């Protein structure tokens, strides 16, 4: 059975002990970190992989909502709190559940089942997306991010990394431009400059040494012009 790595965050030690006792009833749960203050938990997350966080909300220094908002790629979160007034904001942050203290074992079980259901749904979406669209796996931080090819606007070199700009955002991937050209479909992507790789379908026009995408103009390197013209049948 794969262990689910959990982090507990609460400024009250007794609250952490209660969650610990509840989690003893769920053998798949493994507690790998216990913290009383959010900055300590943040430091731990920078060098450790965590699947699920149980976090209080009202804490000194940084509260639970601020803590969650600070994480670029947060794991699943279950809030544990004595206050009802944060529920709407919490669920806007897509948390798994919102547990009111004192937390019963029965209520904890429902929250953990909700976590498992969400994980199954995420896996199902990935499997279904594989059947309907082409995707690329990108190494981002300590995760593998699956991104639909049709969402990609372009890749930009960033030293030994690559910035992937896509519909709705961007991510920095631990991939070189050379490796990206090996794994991207050659009939759909082209390198136009040592700094840029673009989807052929996103090129709207070519003018001199520049290609225009929907919202961006990018330079064409001298050594890449011939290939671009041939691929665009110019």
Q: What residue ranges do the domains of the chain occupy?
A: 4-129, 135-231
- Tens-digit pLDDT profile for residues 99-151: 999 999 999 999 999 999 988 887 766 556 555 568 888 988 878 888 889 89
Write b or e for each residue in 162-172: b if 16 or more Cβ atoms lie within 10 A of its Cβ, otherwise e. Answer: bebbbeeeebb
Q: Which of 195, 189, 200 is nearest to 177 (CA)?
A: 195
Confidence of residue 160 (pLDDT cuts 50, 70, 90): confident
Residue 205's closest CA among 195, 193, 218, 194? 218
User: What are the tens digits of pLDDT across the range 12-24?
Assistant: 999 999 999 999 9
Predicted pLDDT at 144: 85
What pLDDT was estimated at residue 92?
A: 93
Residue 18 backbone dihedrals phi, psi, to 5 degrees: -65, -45
Q: How far apart, in whole angstroms, are the C-alpha atoms of residue 38 and residue 218?
A: 42
Q: Are the CB atoms for 9 and 53 separated by under 8 Å?
A: yes
Residues in the chain: 234
If one compares 215 and 195, the residue with the highest pLDDT of the two is 195
Distance, in Å, from the CA atom of 89 to the CA atom of 51, rounded to the nearest integer, reads: 22
Burial (0-12, 13-18, 19+ Cβ within 10 Å), 208: exposed
pLDDT band at 93 (very low <50, low <70, confident <90, very high): very high
Tell me how far apart the alpha carbons of residues 63 and 86 are, in angstroms, rounded to a whole number: 11
Q: What is the pLDDT of residue 156?
A: 95
Second CATH level (architecture) for the domain 135-231: Beta Barrel (2.40)
3-state DSSP call for residue 177?
helix
* Separation between Cα atoms, residue 178 and residue 175, nearest integer Å: 8
Please determine, for residue 234, whether its predicted confidence score (pLDDT) is greater than 80. Answer: no
Nearest Cα residue to 110 out of 99, 120, 101, 121: 99
Q: What was the pLDDT predicted at 10?
A: 98
CATH architecture of the domain formed by 4-129: 3-Layer(aba) Sandwich (3.40)
């Amino acid at each position: 059975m794969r262990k689910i790595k959990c982090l507990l965050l609460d400024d009250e030690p007794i609250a952490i002990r209660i969650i610990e006792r509840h989690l003893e009833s769920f053998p798949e749960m493994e507690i790998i970190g216990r913290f009383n203050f959010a900055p300590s938990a943040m430091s731990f997350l920078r060098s450790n992989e965590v699947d699920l966080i149980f976090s209080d909300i009202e804490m000194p220094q940084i509260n639970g909502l601020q803590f969650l908002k600070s994480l670029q790629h947060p794991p699943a979160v279950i809030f544990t709190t004595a206050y009802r007034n944060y529920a709407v904001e919490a669920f806007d942050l897509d948390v798994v559940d919102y547990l009111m203290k004192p937390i019963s074992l029965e209520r904890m079980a429902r929250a953990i089942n909700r976590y498992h259901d969400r994980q199954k749904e995420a896996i199902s979406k990935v499997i279904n997306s594989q059947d309907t669209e082409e995707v690329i796996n990108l190494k981002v931080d300590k995760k593998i991010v699956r991104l639909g090819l049709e969402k990609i606007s372009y890749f930009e070199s960033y030293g030994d990394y690559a910035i992937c700009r896509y519909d709705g955002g961007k991510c920095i991937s631990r991939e070189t431009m050379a490796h990206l050209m090996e794994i991207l479909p050659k009939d759909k992507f082209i390198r136009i400059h040592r700094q840029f790789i673009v989807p052929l379908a996103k090129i709207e026009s070519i003018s001199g040494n520049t290609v225009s995408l929907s919202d961006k103009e990018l330079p064409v390197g001298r050594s890449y012009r011939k290939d671009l013209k041939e691929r665009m049948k110019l």
